[in-house]
């Protein structure tokens, strides 16, 4: 009899825990009944580009970003320039000779692991494909290798977005948007971004000017929108201009100016932004950062915390998947010049 009571008690605890967990959507019960198109998410620009490379836009890797609550990821896919690795898709910042974060498939495995361990979380991936014009099937091959295809969600164009709870119940918890090259017939879940989403300008170099205008697609509103809130420093050497992320003023960029732009865009577009994309997501002012701004839009409490994993950012100026790419002499010179200028600016 005692054993029966014990089993009953344990069963009740398990059911209660499972029920409580099922009521959370991306960590909050308040988000479950909201359509996906009404929820705001923290997004990282060039999420894979982390470390002390001058082209890096983040301090920490994607697993750390996921741990910290980032749920939107901007990823740039390029063909591998190494002939022996021509079938691989790489995550590179403009050029794989400058910064190569490894294959798309290896990075996607991080998302697969996260979703397996976190059954009530939804993530969104934004793919930049205009550098290489890869096919939708190329992406699917990488997703299949990473085991992530099973989680990919397809939203019929023109239909109302389901609630977060409904997306979670479907088991399809990865939303993918592709800027160019989408093919609804062969890979329907790799959705044409600008049919669903609009963005504010992304090539920002003026810390005092953060416009709330529709940049992509030009002048065309969509149910979902992204604020691009990251800043470049433009360095000139003769007729050559080099853009590098502005690390030195990131606490201001990710603080008051971010909050001001988000509030301004909310007034202009009549709704809160769905995504705020930033560089160095873990930084900001003491009172304001991208997480606090997003929490306010979602109507959930913000608890100040320390982001990152406590380790110094890793240098990924070389590939981390063994694909050693030999740069040309001119590229190597430009890269060295960028590194030198970067550290001079930082000092």
Give me the active site residues, please: 45, 93
Closest C-alpha to 94, from 335, 265, 303: 335
Structure tokens at 4: 């029966």
| Cis peptide, bond prior to residue 69, ω within 30 of zero | no
């Amino acid at each position: 009899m005692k054993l029966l009571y014990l089993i009953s008690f344990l069963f009740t605890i398990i059911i209660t825990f499972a029920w409580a967990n099922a009521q959370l959507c991306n960590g909050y019960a308040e988000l479950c009944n909201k359509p996906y198109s009404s929820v705001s998410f923290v997004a990282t620009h060039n999420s894979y580009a982390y470390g002390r490379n001058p082209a890096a836009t983040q301090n920490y890797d994607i697993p750390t970003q996921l741990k910290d609550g980032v749920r939107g990821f901007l990823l740039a896919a390029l063909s591998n320039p190494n002939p022996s690795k021509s079938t691989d898709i790489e995550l590179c910042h403009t050029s794989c000779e400058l910064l190569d974060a490894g294959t798309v498939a290896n990075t996607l495995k991080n998302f697969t692991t996260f979703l397996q361990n976190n059954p009530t979380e939804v993530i969104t991936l934004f793919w930049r494909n205009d550098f290489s014009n890869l096919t939708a099937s190329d992406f699917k091959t990488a997703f299949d290798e990473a085991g992530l295809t099973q989680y990919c969600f397809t939203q019929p164009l023109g239909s109302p977005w389901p609630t977060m709870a409904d997306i979670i119940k479907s088991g399809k918890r990865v939303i993918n948007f592709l800027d160019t090259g989408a093919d609804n017939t062969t890979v329907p879940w790799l959705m044409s971004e600008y049919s669903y989403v609009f963005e504010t300008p992304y090539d920002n170099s003026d810390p005092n000017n953060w416009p709330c205008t529709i940049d992509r697609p030009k002048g065309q509103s969509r149910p979902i929108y992204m604020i691009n809130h990251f800043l470049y420093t433009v360095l000139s050497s003769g007729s050559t201009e080099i853009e590098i992320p502005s690390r030195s003023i990131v606490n201001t960029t990710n603080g008051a100016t971010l909050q001001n732009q988000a509030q301004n865009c909310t007034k202009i577009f009549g709704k809160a932004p769905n995504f705020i994309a930033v560089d160095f997501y873990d930084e900001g002012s003491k009172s304001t950062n991208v997480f606090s701004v997003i929490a306010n839009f979602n109507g959930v409490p913000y608890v100040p915390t320390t982001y990152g994993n406590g380790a110094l950012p890793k240098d990924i100026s070389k590939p981390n998947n063994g694909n050693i790419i030999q740069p040309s002499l001119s590229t190597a010179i430009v890269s060295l010049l960028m590194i030198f200028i970067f550290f001079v600016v930082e000092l």
